[in-house]
Amino acid sequence: MSTQLLLASSSPRRRSILNLANIDFITYSPQVDESAISNKLLEIYKGACQSAMGRIITGELALQKALAAAYLTKAPLILAADTLVMCRGYILGKPQDAAVAHSMFNLLLGKQLSSEDLALLGTPKATEEDRQHQIKGQYHQVSTGVCLLVHKNYYQSNLSPELSKRLKEVKTAYPELNEYYKLSFVEQAGVYMQGDTAFTQKTVDDYIAAGNCYDKAGAYAVQESTAALINGIVGDVYTVMGLPLHALLEQCNEILPLRAAEAITDVPEVKEVKVRTVAEETALKAESAPEPELINTNTRKSAFSRFNSALMHMNNKEKASNTLPASPTADGQLKQQSGTEKTPMVPDLSLSRPLIFDNSATAVGQVNSLQSKLQELRRNDSSLPSFLQKN
């Protein structure tokens, strides 16, 4: 059998916590009807305080998740966890929509609940403790239940007496599940929140609008922007995140598989880094900036000169072609004929810059003539200025 740990959860927070401890694991998330189990326990233990209710519900849900994963995968080593947030007797799971998330934050921040909040949150499911926690702000309690299943064939020996005492046999109606030992515990932490300021409200609104609240019990995460709302924590912060790392390593360290350490062959050279001031950075950027491209005025002048000469040559050539040669008449005399007038055509200006001209035939003819000259120059002279080559 593989010695990898199977994490029966899809929570990215729990994955990151196991990675911090360098534990070798894979993930599989079984489908468990958490609402049905919670409602049944609430009915059985009606009237219990929220501390006891948190322990009962999270411990049972963690066990059911682990058993579901064991039944479906037959993995030798399975870890499951469940986290529950309770405040003023209310059980706060994952919010279904933005309205419920806002009501949860109103409760956690100690605000007076409106009629809309009460309609969304319902009635308290447990009895709140009598202790005065409001000294540091509104108090709420986070409970995280943990269940570790170990197959009997996985460790047949080499277990310490202390761990052997903590492992209990699983007894269910399914024979394949009775081949496991279980180790369960619940850790609790207290969290204080307070503040009814514009900054607090904006933090809550932005967090909910970003959609970060929907996959978290209590609608918040201690390691995200909502950390700005927290005034204090009593207990392990990883319990609030969803997996009490310290208690897990303390109770299960000899079972949890660790990743193989990677050997470091090359020690990187330590280089001294000089911190530059703003003025030094500005001067350095100015020195390393590329010099502006200089325009060769001689090249520009020569290009313009060639263009003007070619244009004048074209004008002279056109004037000469407009006069037809003399042809003999019927009586044998020579008669000078004027050139045939061409019908002026309106040029297509859709791909060129707009030109200002009147509607007279003379202006249209001039535009037509200039465009024809420019087109011929483009074909014959590749050294034209860039503005004439493009326009």
Catalytic: which of 24, 33, 82, 381? 82
Instruction: Determine whether 205 is an active site residue.
Output: no
- Dihedral of CA atoms 373, 316, 361, 340 in degrees, nearest 10, equals -110
60: which residues sit within 8 A by CB, 6+ positions away?
37, 41, 145
Q: In angstroms, rounded to a whole number, what is the distance separating the alpha carbons of residues 87 and 110?
A: 9
Q: How far is CA 66 from the centre of its chain?
A: 31
62-91 burial, b at 16+ Cβ within 10 Å, e below that, comes to bbbbbbbbbeeeebbbbbbbbbbbbbbebb
What 3-state class would DSSP assign to 126? coil
User: Residue 249 to residues 14, 76, 190, 257, 346: CA-CA distances in angstroms?
Assistant: 14, 19, 21, 11, 88
- CA–CA separation, 173 and 177 (whole Å): 8
One-letter identity of residue 348: D
Residue written as token pair 């009814």: 196
CA distance 268 to 17: 28
Using DSSP's 3-state secondary structure scheme, residue 84 falls into: strand
CA distance 246 to 23: 13
Q: Are the beta carbons of 113 and 121 closer than 8 angstroms?
A: yes
Residue 296 is encoded by which pair of tokens? 């060769």
What are residue 252's phi and psi, to 5 degrees? -125, 15
Helices (H), the chain: 12-20, 34-44, 50-73, 98-108, 115-121, 161-166, 198-209, 237-241, 245-252, 278-288, 297-321, 361-380, 386-390
Residues 371, 311: Cα–Cα separation, whole Å:
11
Residues with catalytic function? 82
